[in-house]
Structure 1
Amino acid sequence: MRILAIGDVVGNIGCRFLRQRLPALKKLKGVDLVIANGENSADGNGVTPISADFLFSSGVDVITTGNHSFRRREIYPYYDDAPYILRPANFPEKTTPGNGTLIYDMGRVQVCVINLMGCVFLENLKDPYETIDEILKKNTAKITILDFHAEATAEKLAMGYYLDGRISAMFGTHTHVQTADECIFENGMGYITDVGMTGPIKSVLGVKPELAIKKQREKLPVRFETADGDCKMDCILFQIDEKSGKTINIERIEIR
C-alpha cells in the first residue's frame, strides 16, 4: 500500500498547482491513497466547500485540516455531509461539526485516517495523547495514518515516539516547512515532523513576504494575501505492508 501525504495546500494557486502535478505523480509512484491537508486551501485561510471539492476532483482522497478548520462558516455543514474531510479529533465532540477519524475502505484493506491537533502554542483543545488513546482502543483497521497538526517540533516528535508500534505512519503539518527527518521508527512507524507546503515558493508560508514583514515589524493587524509566482508541492510517500501494517519504505518528495 502506497499512501501519499501532501503538505498544507495554500490558496487557489496551491490548489491549481496540485491539480497540475498530482495525476502524474500518482501514476509514477503507484499511489493507492492520497491525503492532503486543506485547511488553507481557500484564499485568505480556511477551507470552503469550493476549495474542498476542487481538491477532491484533483485526485485527493482524504482532506485533513487543523487550527483553521472552522475559519470559514460555510464549511460547517460540509464537514457533516462529506465523508472524506476531517477536522482534528480533539475538538469538542458534542459541539463541533464533522469527525476527526474515518475508515477508508480500499476493498482489500481498510485504512484508518486520523486528524489530531497539538496544544503547544495552539488552542487549548483536549489532550492529544488522551484523544489518540481513545481512538486506537476502538480502531480495528490494519493500516492507520495520522496527520498531527502541531506547532512545536518537540510535540510532534514526542507524539511520534509515543505512537511507534501502534500506528502505521504519522506526518506533521501546520508549519509549512518540510523537514529532512523522515524515518521509520524502531517498531515500524513511518514518520516526518512536517511534510511541508503546497503553494508559492517566494512567500512566507504562502503569504506575500511584504505583508508578513509588515505584520512582524508594525505589530498591527494585516490582511494576509496569498503570494504569486512559481509553486512547489511537498509530499511524503509511505509504503506500508498490508499484512503487518508497518511502514517498509518512506520517501520525501518536493515537486516544482
Structure 2
Amino acid sequence: MKILFIGDVVGSMGRNIISMMIDRITSKEPIDFIIANGENATHGKGLSEDHLNELFDAGVDVVTLGNHYANKKDIFNFLDSYEGLLRPNNLHHSVPGTGTGVFDVNGVKIRVTNLLGRVYMAIDVNNPFDDLDTICASDDSDIHIVDFHAEATGEKYALAHAFDGKVSAVLGTHTHVQTRDNRILPNGTAYISDVGMCGPYDSILGVKKEDVVKRTWTSLPTPFNVKEDGEGIFSGVILSFNDETYECERIQTIYEILD
C-alpha cells in the first residue's frame, strides 16, 4: 500500500499544482490514499468550503489543517460536515469537527490524526503528547498517520521518538520548507521534520518576497499577499507499506519545481 502526503497547499497556485501533480504521480505508480494539509489553501490563510471541495475533486481523500484553521470564519459552518476534513485534535473540546478519523481503504483501516505543536506557536492548545497517547490507547487501525503541524523541529522529533512504533508515521507540516531528514525510526515509524509546501516557488513561504522583506526589515505592519504567478513547487512524501504487516518500509520525498 502507498500513501501520498502533500505538504501545505498555498493559494490558488497550490491548488492547481496538486491537481496536476496528483494526476501525474498516480499515472506512474499506484497510490491508494492521499492526504493534504489545506490550512493555507484559501488566499494563504484558512480554507473555504469551495476550495475544500476543489481539493477533494483533485483526488485528495483527507484534508488536514493547522494554526490557521479558523482564519476563514465560515469554516465553522462545515467543520462537522465532511468526514475527510480534520482540524487539529488538541484544540479545545468545544471546537466543532474532529482531529482524528479512521478510513477504510480496500479493507485496510487507516487512521489520520492532526495535531498542533505548542513551541513558538501563537495558539493555545492541549498537550499534543497527551492527546496522541489517548488516541493510541484505544486505536485498532492498521496504519496511523500523524500530521504534526508545528514550528520547532525539536518538538517534532520528540513526538516522533515518543511514539516510535506506536504510530506509522509522524509527518511535520507548517514551516513550508521540505527537510532532508526523512527516515524510518528504530521501531518502525516513518518521520520527516517538514513535508514542505505546494505553491509559488519564487516567494517566501508562498508570500510575495517584498511583503516579507518589508515587515521583517522595518517591523512595520505589512499585509502578506500570496504570490499567484511564476514557477510553482510541489512537495510531498510517498509512504510505502508492507501489504501483510502494514509496516512502513520507505518514506520517499517528492520535490519538484514546475513552470
- Return the offset for 1:38: 0.3
Q: Which residue in the other structure is 2:87 paired with? A: 87
Q: Given residue 99 of structure 1, which amino acid in structure 2 is its aligned partner?
A: T
1:220: Cα distance to partner?
A: 2.4
The sequence identity of aligned pairs, in percent, is: 39
RMSD: 1.0
- Consecutive unaligned residues of structure 2, counting only runs of 5 or more, are none
Q: Corresponding residue for 1:233?
A: 234
CA separation in 1, counterparts of 2:222 and 2:75?
24
Indicate whether 1:48 and 2:48 are aligned.
Answer: yes
2:36 equivalent to 1:36: yes
- Matched positions, count: 255
Partner of 2:101: 102
Letter of the 2:242 partner, please give it: D
Quote how far apart the aligned CAs of 1:245 are. Answer: 3.0
- Secondary structure at the aligned position of 2:5 is classed as strand
Point out the more displaced range, 25-34 or 195-204: 25-34
Contact 2:44-2:206 within 8 A present in 1 as well: no
Quick check: 1:168–1:240 contact (8 Å CA) kept in 2?
Answer: no
Which residues of 2 match residues 187-202 of structure 1 at below 5 A? 187-202=187-202
Quick check: 1:144–1:245 contact (8 Å CA) kept in 2? no
Q: Distance in 1 between the 2:48 and 2:29 partners?
A: 29
- Give runs of aligned pairs for residues 125-204 of structure 1, distance below 5 A: 125-204=125-204
Contact 2:10–2:44 (CA<8 Å) still a contact in 1?
no
The TM-score with structure 1 as length reference comes to 0.97
Rounded to whole Å, the distance in 1 between the matches of 2:164 and 2:182 is 14
Tell me if structure 1 keeps the 8 A contact 2:165–2:189: yes
Distance 1:255 1:98 in 2: 33
5+ residue gaps, structure 1:
none
Greater shift, 107-116 or 217-226, is seen at 217-226
Match of 1:8 in 2: 8
1:216 aligns with 2:186: no
CA distance in 2, matches of 1:100, 1:168: 17
Shift of 1:116: 0.4
Deviations 1:25-75 (A, max 9, x none): 022131110100000000141111011111110011100010001111111
Secondary structure of 2:75's partner? helix
User: Which residue pairs with 1:119 in the alignment?
Assistant: 118
Q: CA shift at 1:96, angstroms?
A: 0.2
Q: Name the SS of the counterpart of 2:78 in structure 1.
A: helix
C-alpha distance in structure 2 between counterparts of 1:72 and 1:200, whole Å:
21
SS of match in other structure, 2:132: helix
Q: Report Cα offsets for 1:105-146 as digits up to 9, x if no partner.
A: 113211000000100011221001000001111211011000
Distance 1:44 1:198, change over 3 A: closer
| Amino acid aligned to 1:201 | Y
Q: Secondary structure at the match of 2:14?
A: helix
The amino acid across from 1:112 in the alignment is R
Moved over 6 A (4+): none
Q: TM-score, normalised by structure 2?
A: 0.96
In structure 1, what is the Cα distance between the partners aligned to 2:181 and 2:70?
30
C-alpha distance in structure 1 between counterparts of 2:128 and 2:145, whole Å: 15
Distance across 1 between alignment mates of 2:128 and 2:206: 27
